[in-house]
Amino acid sequence: MELHELTINQAHQGLVKREFSALELTKAFLDRIEKLDKKIFSYLTITKNLATSEAKTIDGLISREKKIPILAGIPLAVKDNILVENIRCTAASKILENYIASYDATCIKKLKAQGAVILGKTNMDEFAMGSSCEHSAFFPTKNPHDESRVPGGSSGGSAAAVAGNLCCYALGSDTCGSIRQPASFCGVVGLKPTYGAVSRYGLIAMASSLDQIGPITKTVADAKIVFDVISGKDPLDSTSIKTSNIQHPTSNIKDLKIGVPKEYFAKGIDPEVEKIVKSGIKKCEALGANIKEVSLPYSTEHALATYYIIMPSEVSANLARYDGIKYGLSKIKNQKSNIKNLLDVYLKSRAEGFGEEVRRRIMLGTYALSAGYYEAYYLKAQKIRTLIRKDFERVFKKVDVLMTPTSPIPAFKLGEKMTDPLSMYLSDIYMAAVNLAGLPAISIPCGKVENLPIGLQIIGKPFEEDRILDIANIFDKIK
Ligand code: GLN
């Protein structure tokens, strides 16, 4: 096996047994990025010096100590909306093109404390808004399984980097499927943790009540390793929660009750995707799991509409800070003659700095929050959000987990949905409710349609990451 093909566990064993050094491992990835990323375009920034110096430090540690943390010396890629101190962080937006992060996100701090090696920052849809990576202000990323297709989004750069062996694992963020859908399109594992399980401190906010950071990995076992390191209470994020006290039921597939929501297999799903996901669920049944059809009426019918009110409302508030004064691009300096007053600075900086999709969502959100419309849109959406959460609470009294397709379709062609935002939004249909209800969910590879990977989504009860990881692990082995 080549170094770039190793899982976290295998790479760790190799380092401990001194079969190769951390520097050799890091170089193997840096060389591969230099050769192959010209075709895939998964990285926005390569942090060669940071990676090399950390790898050397870890080699020093290995020569002195017998035991090293499991992530020590293992190279990862970080989505470009997660801050790494002294490294450019763009959120794939022109408005932050030259922004250098002044501190580490909490998850980065935790990974650095383990001795993780950061290879670079990955491409994404601008401010995480999109499902294809084509909304990056810089360039689109391509799917390593078929370069004429999208890798999914918004964490498309991270998923493509893992699938293309351009890193050992990666971090993504998920506001409405942005970890799970690209993982599904690229044939890798993506875990969206329970809201509050991982600190959001240092994550550039898109929609704060929905955003979560999570791992994108080659195997389920790797996802668990990364999740265990990055999760937990953080005094810098008041919505984070101490998870270590929570008792997780052990998962024996024989006693497991798996719910299959009937609405997730209704209109709009590609028949081949349906076939593959259903046969995956059948395999669990053959192992003794109890499969039950369930219904999530609000979650399916209203989740996307609810998401597309709540998310833009939060976007319009969160993105107000990019005004040409506080951060990044500012039209004060370059076009002095055209700028008459402060309002001009705001308007020109934002018009030039933000892409079309970001501007569309800011306008939608501002409208939904404005006096006279707030009750009709934002408040109504919050009420439906509660009904969606109750849908899940009711169903989780009868079953332990839910299994669904991650996406109704396999990876689509580059350019296919760019002129029709609504059809792009529809590809998030099976993921939106999970974020609105704050639940954990994982996407794991389940099969292929021709050459294109298909993901199976396992949704769990709040803070039962261990359980969905256990089940996903069993699935990983039988598939
Ligand atoms: N496709 C979703 C959107 O465009 C993805 C959001 C996300 O998870 N960051 O809003």
CATH number for the domain including 200? 3.90.1300.10
Q: Strand pairing partners for 291?
A: 258
79 annotated active-site: yes
Q: Strand pairing partners for 404?
A: 457
- Going from the Cα of 183 to the center of ligand 1, the distance in angstroms, rounded, reads 13
Say how far apart CA 479 and CA 230 lie, in whole Å: 28
Does the pLDDT of residue 33 top 60, yes or no?
yes
Q: Which helix (H) or strand (E) holds 454?
A: strand 452-459
pLDDT of residue 266: 83
Question: Tokens 């760790």 map to which residue?
Answer: 12
* Domain residue limits at 63: 3-230
**Given 131, 136, 155, 178, which residue is catalytic?**
178
Say how far apart CA 421 and CA 442 lie, in whole Å: 26
Tens digits of residue pLDDT in 106-151: 999 999 999 999 999 999 999 999 999 999 999 999 999 999 999 9
- Going from the Cα of 288 to the center of ligand 1, the distance in angstroms, rounded, reads 36
Total structural domains in the chain?
1
- Tell me the best of 126, 134, 154 to mutate to test the pocket of ligand 1, counting ligand atoms within 8 Å of each CB and taking the most: 154
Does the pLDDT of residue 349 top 60, yes or no?
yes
Of 15-19, 271-275, 308-312, 341-345, the least confident:
341-345
- Token couple for 102: 């002044």
For residue 29, tell me if it sits in a domain: yes
pLDDT of residue 424: 85
DSSP string, 160-219: HHHHTTSSSEEEEEESSSTTHHHHHHHTSEEEEPPTTTB--TTBPPSSTTT-EEEEEESS
For residue 78, tell me if it sits in a domain: yes
For residue 256, tell me if it sits in a domain: no
Tens digits of residue pLDDT in 60-89: 999 998 789 999 999 999 999 999 999 999
Selection from 260, 264, 299 nearest residue 280 by Cα:
260
- Tell me the best of 133, 176, 359 to mutate to test the pocket of ligand 1, counting ligand atoms within 8 Å of each CB and taking the most: 176
Of 162-176, 303-317, 334-348, the least confident:
334-348
Residue 189 sits at φ, ψ, to 5 deg, of -100, 135
For residue 353, tell me if it sits in a domain: no
For residue 298, tell me if it sits in a domain: no
For residue 224, tell me if it sits in a domain: yes
Say how far apart CA 200 and CA 107 lie, in whole Å: 8
pLDDT of residue 378: 95
For residue 421, tell me if it sits in a domain: no
Tens digits of residue pLDDT in 202-260: 999 999 999 999 999 999 999 999 999 999 999 999 999 987 655 666 567 888 999 99
**Given 131, 154, 184, 251, which residue is catalytic?**
154
Q: Strand pairing partners for 424?
A: none
- Going from the Cα of 175 to the center of ligand 1, the distance in angstroms, rounded, reads 6
- Confidence grade of residue 334 (pLDDT, cut at 50, 70, 90): low
Q: Which residues line ligand 1 (CB under 6 A)?
A: 128-131, 154, 174-178, 206, 311, 428
* Residue-averaged pLDDT of the chain: 94
Rg (CA), the chain: 22
For residue 329, tell me if it sits in a domain: no
Tens digits of residue pLDDT in 436-467: 999 999 999 999 999 999 999 999 999 999 99
Buried b (16+ CB within 10 A) or exposed e, 372-390: eeeeebbeebeebbeebbe
pLDDT of residue 335: 56
Q: In what order do the strands lie in the sheet with 117-122?
A: 43-46, 117-122, 75-79, 169-174, 212-217, 189-192, 441-449, 452-459, 401-405, 257-261, 290-294
pLDDT of residue 245: 56
pTM to 2 decimals?
Answer: 0.97
Does the pLDDT of residue 336 top 60, yes or no?
no
- Going from the Cα of 400 to the center of ligand 1, the distance in angstroms, rounded, reads 27
CB contact set of 64 (below 8 Å; sequence gap of 6+): none
427 annotated active-site: no
pLDDT of residue 244: 64
pLDDT of residue 305: 95
